[in-house]
Amino acid sequence: MSACQQPALAASGEKAVATPAAAIRAKEDGGLKTAIFAGGCFWGVEGVFSHVKGVKSAVSGYHGGSKRNANYRMVTTGSTGHAEAVKVTYDPDVVRYDELLRIFFAVVADPTTLNRQGPDHGSQYRSALVPTSAEQARVAKAYLAQLGKAKLWDRPIVTKIEKQDRFYPAEAYHQDFMVKNPNHGYILRWDRPKVQALKTLFPADYSATFRKG
């Protein structure tokens, strides 16, 4: 199994995709909301969402397993049931959940690769949406169906909607990894291009400032 601190050996990167606006818009009110996204190594997931206007924090962590083995050494074995994931806290008055979904599928994760993103493979690198409310679940289901009909990718979408479970924040050195380690080889090869794609495809949503979690 790969671990995202290892040098990237693959020859080509992931491609950004111009995803459509959601036909079903999220109706969220009552202040800040949270949502969980799993899309491969959490450094890049966190890095992209930390540059989205309206996102108040993006915290890297582990979702889908137990606290007993929610640590990086164990999770990278692929045997704990966790996914590397990011908990995003956002202001729906600035960026709605459906807009976060659109960004996720456009520049964060390839939804057609099963248990794999970029150079990393194993169930801990699966792509998954983890709604934290009935409204998010409704919107996520509708957007997955919309993307399936749009046929933007050559292969079928394998991203799943997972039931919310306990989220365990990752170790401190993983938090805000991109801004702390801008010249790390993995960041330069795999994750910095995702942020550039965010800026290119979603200029109105892009923030040049990295929002620390």
Question: What was the pLDDT predicted at 117?
Answer: 95
Q: Judge whether 4 counts as a catalytic residue.
A: no
CATH code reported for the domain at 33-201: 3.30.1060.10
Catalytic member of 35, 38, 41, 48: 41
Is 8 in a helix, a strand, or coil? coil
Boundaries of every domain in the chain: 33-201
| Residue 127 φ/ψ, nearest 5 degrees | -95, 130
Q: What are phi and psi of 10, to 5 degrees?
A: -70, 155
Give tens-digit pLDDT for 159-202: 999 999 999 999 999 999 999 999 999 999 999 999 999 999 99
**Averaged pLDDT, 111-138:** 97
Which pLDDT tens digit goes with each residue over 55-104? 999 999 999 999 999 999 999 999 999 999 999 999 999 999 999 999 99
**31-48: pLDDT as tens digits:** 999 999 999 999 999 999
